Amino acid sequence: MPDYVYLFRGGDYEDFSPEQLQQVVQEYIGWVKKLREQGIFKAGDELQPSGRVVRREAGKITDGPFAETKEAVGGYFLIEAQSYDEAVEIARSSPNLKNNGWVEIRQVSDYQ
């Protein structure tokens, strides 16, 4: 079965109280538990909000520009699914979608 990476982007969490943020964390914990029980969750974690982009422009290496906050990757999952369509269907249950975020889905290449 192919592997897929979910990149979690966006989400309106800035005005959440600590209790509301904890509720979101619990939703993610529950979702991961369900994916583990189905045997399709392989890895995943939250990412730190800060980071850098390194690129070559006009012969020089720069460490920017940075993604806008709404576009920053907040975390990732590695899951296993029968097909891209199934991976999309699984992503539809992401707690990130409830808070105006989105999930980018990329199939992992199998060069073997």
How far is C-alpha 67 from the geometric centre of its chain's CA atoms?
15
Q: Are strands 55-57 and 60-62 parallel, antiparallel or unpaired?
A: antiparallel
CATH number at residue 66: 3.30.70.1060
- Give tens-digit pLDDT for 51-110: 777 777 776 666 655 555 556 778 899 999 999 999 999 999 999 898 888 999 999 988
Phi, psi of 107, deg, nearest 5: -80, 140
Q: How many domains does the chain have?
A: 1
pLDDT at 46: 85
Print the domain residue range for 77: 3-107
Tell whether 112 is covered by a domain: no
pLDDT at 50 over 60: yes
pTM equals 0.80
